[in-house]
Structure 1
Amino acid sequence: MVDFQQVFEHAPVPLMVLDRQLRYVAANRAYLEVTASTLEALMGRCLFDVFPDEPGDSNRHSAEMLRSSLECVLATGRADTLALIPYKVPQRFEHGTQLVDRYWSATHTPLLDERGEVAWVLQHTEDVTELHTLRRAAAVAQMSDERLVGDEHVGTRVLARARRVQQENVLLLRERERLQSLFEQAPGFVCILRGPDHVFDIANAAYRTMVGRQDVIGKPLAHVLPEVVEQGFTALLDSVSTSGHAYVGQAFRVMLERDGVMREFFLDFIYQPIHEADGSVSGVFVQGNDVTDRVLAHKQLLQQQEHLEELVQQRTRELADAEAALRQAQKLEAVGRLTGGIAHDFNNLLQVVSGNLQLLEDNVQDNPAARRRLANASMAVDRGARLASQLLSFGRRQPLQPQAVDVAELVGGMGDMLQRVLGGAIELTVRTGEHLSRAWADPAQMENALLNLAINARDAMQGEGRILIEADNAAIRAEAAAGELPVGDYLRLSLSDDGCGMSSETLAQAFEPFFTTKAEGQGSGLGLSMVYGFAKQSGGHVAIASAPGKGTTVTLYLPRAKASADVVPPAPVVPGAGGSETILVVEDDSQVLTTVVELLGELGYTVLTAGNGEEALAVLASVPSIDLLFTDVMMPGPVKGMMVVDEARKRHPRIAVLHTSGYPREGIIKDGFLNQGVHLLGKPYTREALASALRQLLD
Structure 2
Amino acid sequence: MGALMRSHDWSESPLGPPERWPDALKMAVSICLNSRFPMLIWWGPEFSMLYNDAYRPILGMTKHPASLGRPGRVIWPETWSIFGPQLAGVLEGEATWSQDVLIPLDRNNYLEEAYFTYSYSPIKHADGRIGGVFSAVTETTERVLGERRLKILRELASRTAESRTVPDACRQVVEVLGAGNPDTPFCALHLLDEDGNTLRLCASHGLAAGKVPAEVPLDADDPWCIARAVRSAEAVSLDFLPFRFGSLPAHVWPEPVRRALVLPVARAGGAGEASGALVVGINPRRALDDSYRGFLDLVAGHIATAIANARASEAERRRADEHALLETRFRDLADSAPVMIWVSDPDGRCTWVNRSWLTFSGRAMEDDLGDGWLDNVHPEDLPRCRKIHHTAFAQRVPFRMEFRMRRHDGDWCHVDDTGVPHYAADGAFLGFIGSCVDVSDARRWEMALRRSREELIRLNETLETRVAERTEDLAAANRQLLAQIEEREQIEATLRQLQRLDAVGQLTAGVAHDFNNLLTVVLGNASWLERAWAGADDPRPLRRITHIRIAAERGAKLVAQLLAFSRRQRLEPRTLDLNETLEKMRELLVTTVGGGITVELAPKAELWPALVDPTQVELVVLNLAINGRDAMSDGGRLTVRTDNVTLGDQTRPEEPGPGDYVELTVADTGTGMEEDVLAKAFEPFFTTKSVGKGSGLGLSQVLGFAKQSGGGVRIETVPGEGTTVRVYFPRTGAAGEGAAPSAAGFAGMAPACVLVVDDDDAVRHITASLLEGLGHTVVEAGSGGAALERLAARADIDIALLDVAMPGMSGIDLAREIRQRRPALPVVFVTGYADTALLAGIRHEHVLKKPFLDTDLDRKVRAALANTRAGTLDALMAEPDPAAEAD
Same fold? TM cut 0.5: no
- After TM superposition, the score normalised by the length of structure 1 is 0.37
Higher relative contact order (CA 8 A, sep 6+): 1
* Higher Rg: 1
